[in-house]
Structure 1
């Protein structure tokens, strides 16, 4: 018998460690070569770690939520080979997602740890014992189709649930058991925040604790723009993306920040340096099954309405599918936050640190408006926008939003250069 020690691979240039977000195996499980055994997350991407050997798991080197240094022991696998104590770095295949930085417990490389522990007693990972084995893509598909993976029996190695298992479950038309609607519930559940969810929590804490927010709300008459948008969508070419309000808002922001460069900026509050950006890289906050991510439309100042719409659609799809790259999920200079039809009347968006402004989009609703002689129905929408009050005064915030309002209410101005 032999033993392979699989080490944490180098998952990206400049990345010294990654957070363990999921085990696909537990101690005692058989594994096959190329079978995914774990998933780790860097600051921008989730990476699946496959096993390069066939054997049995005898030791797990970390718990979900730990940060693991590159080259640190990750898994020990007992094999049927004759060579003992081989150590290999597993190859890594990037799968997806994003979020802000966090500082969980770090597992250091073997060189800085005590000598190799004996395989017995074997360490059991607490979470995998109860969690069904499935890849992130299968988990995403199950969430989207409303399937509880705990109801399925996997046909893959070590009972791993495959996409085909979910498809067959759906084809049989099986439904989860339903509890009586009026049944008394006494259970509680503690959920450890890991991966993207924890990084979002820490990013929001950083932003609200370090940035003094000022929020400015203004209503915008969207009637003319909605008529123009409907006409452009009706006449669009088959290869062109359908226009939403956001591409028009993106172009309005480009025009407005040209007069107020302090708003298209990032602030290093540790060094006290404000960086004004000539390029307008607009982050679009997007909800995914894993949590909130912010894909970035780069150089919106050089894109027309249709180009903005196409790039925004491409990035949103990549974010939902978990295939967005690190570059596509970073580098924004100002952010738009929109909940679409769920946008409500007013919101208080949190600034995407280290930016100094975020423009929040609320829902469009028909409301009566006075035209000087009578009340007429108009399509109205509120903009709820937050600014870093250390950099942006209330007057400047109002001036910026009023400029955006004028551009949206008179959409022809968006297309006039200069």
Structure 2
């Protein structure tokens, strides 16, 4: 038997060190070729580290949250044959096997299921458990197969205690949860929602969550934020969208409101080039861009990501729609490339149906503007002395006051409003 050492790879772009975000294996696990061993975090994206060999994990080279140099030993695997451990590597002190890490703030990519779940249920069935209290929006660690199993059984995963690495929920945890429910039913008892709780949980801020925290803090400290909110009557553009979907949806794909918003940004920015800009405050240089590269803020399992629709000025509605959908899928699955997550000149952010009435979005530095979309609601409006029901939506947008004057920001949003309320003007050249 030999040892195969996997070192922290050179991910490119001159990066000398990366953060270890998540282990998908532990010491003693059997792994197969192409199985994801770990996630590492660069300044721009999460990167999978797959196994190039079959074998057994001997040691792990760091804890989640640790910053590791490129070329340092990431993991050692026992393999058939001689392995690749060189004499120079043997001089490097191998790290001791680490204990199972505490639950990390970064959720795993759902396609990377650890080998542990292939163990026979009888060999590692946990004891019956009481429901776990998690926040309603917290996404517990579980593989796609476990999530489907829970859905079939009608079990909410946030109530299940996980016995796998980092609290990952396994199939046998679902069995244990069901067994506990049966036991409570027989005894006539059930966990009380009014019982005192004294538990605490410490969540390490690592990986994507740490990057998001750093960027948000930097943005609020460096830029002079100001926000501007305007309501827009989107009745006409929604009617146009419904008509286009009915006529072309089967052949060209369905349109959401986002492609119309992207088009409105493109047209409005022609008159406001100072808003389609990036500000290098260290060099004291503002770069105005002719190309409109729209960042579309997207929520993923690992946090907020901003994939970029490049050259939106050259895209049709359906082209924009397809690209937005493709990038959102890539971001949510952790497959977005680094160049797909950088280079935006203005950002569009939307919480969809949860968009609320008003928001104050934080700038995506070094950009100087971000346009926030709130939810659409039907409201009575007075038009020409008559009360009519209209579909209304607020745009809550933020700007960098160091670069964008308040009047220019207001006029820019008013231009978007005019384009959306008279949607034919979106296509008049």
TM range (shorter): 0.7 to 0.9
Q: What are the ranges of 5 or more consecutive residues in structure 1 without an aligned counterpart?
A: 88-109, 142-148
Match of 2:109 among 136, 140, 145: 136
Quote the residue 1:11 is aligned against. Answer: 11
The secondary structure found in structure 2 opposite 1:365 is strand
The secondary structure found in structure 1 opposite 2:381 is strand
Shift of 1:373: 1.9
Distance 1:310 1:35 in 2: 30
Match of 1:311 among 308, 315, 323: 323
RMSD between superposed Cα atoms in Å? 3.2
Does the Cα contact within 8 Å between 1:57 and 1:78 map onto a contact in 2?
yes
Distance 1:173 1:223, change over 3 A: closer
Match of 2:352 among 328, 331, 340: 340
The secondary structure found in structure 1 opposite 2:379 is strand
Quote the residue 1:116 is aligned against. Answer: 92
Distance 1:301 1:17 in 2: 37
Shift of 1:252: 1.2
Q: What are the ranges of 5 or more consecutive residues in structure 2 without an aligned counterpart?
A: 125-141, 161-176, 182-190
Match of 1:198 among 185, 193, 210: 210
Does the Cα contact within 8 Å between 2:28 and 2:57 map onto a contact in 1?
yes
The secondary structure found in structure 1 opposite 2:252 is coil
Match of 1:284 among 273, 284, 296: 296
Match of 1:186 among 191, 198, 213: 198
> Is 1:154 aligned to residue 110 of structure 2?
no
Quote the residue 1:385 is aligned against. Answer: 397
Shift of 1:340: 1.3
Does the Cα contact within 8 Å between 1:263 and 1:357 map onto a contact in 2?
yes
Does the Cα contact within 8 Å between 2:277 and 2:287 map onto a contact in 1?
yes
Shift of 1:78: 4.6
Distance 1:5 1:12 in 2: 20
1:360-400 per-residue CA deviation (whole Å, 9 max, x = no partner) reads: 11111122222232322221111111000000111111111
Distance 2:82 2:341 in 1: 46
Match of 1:359 among 348, 362, 371: 371
Quote the residue 1:325 is aligned against. Answer: 337
The secondary structure found in structure 2 opposite 1:345 is coil
Shift of 1:344: 0.9
The secondary structure found in structure 1 opposite 2:248 is coil
Distance 1:229 1:169 in 2: 37
1:330-384 per-residue CA deviation (whole Å, 9 max, x = no partner) reads: 1110011111111111110111111000111111112222223232222111111
Quote the residue 2:231 is aligned against. Answer: 219
Shift of 1:31: 4.4
Distance 1:247 1:411 in 2: 12
Does the Cα contact within 8 Å between 1:60 and 1:125 map onto a contact in 2?
no
The secondary structure found in structure 2 opposite 1:259 is coil
Distance 1:25 1:212 in 2: 44
For this pair of structures, how many residues does the alignment match? 378
Shift of 1:43: 2.8
Shift of 1:263: 0.1
Q: How does 1:227-246 map to 2 (within 5 A)?
A: 227-246=239-258
Distance 1:394 1:172, change over 3 A: closer
Does the Cα contact within 8 Å between 2:108 and 2:302 map onto a contact in 1?
no
> Is 1:248 aligned to residue 260 of structure 2?
yes
Quote the residue 1:127 is aligned against. Answer: 101
Q: TM-score, normalised by structure 2?
A: 0.79
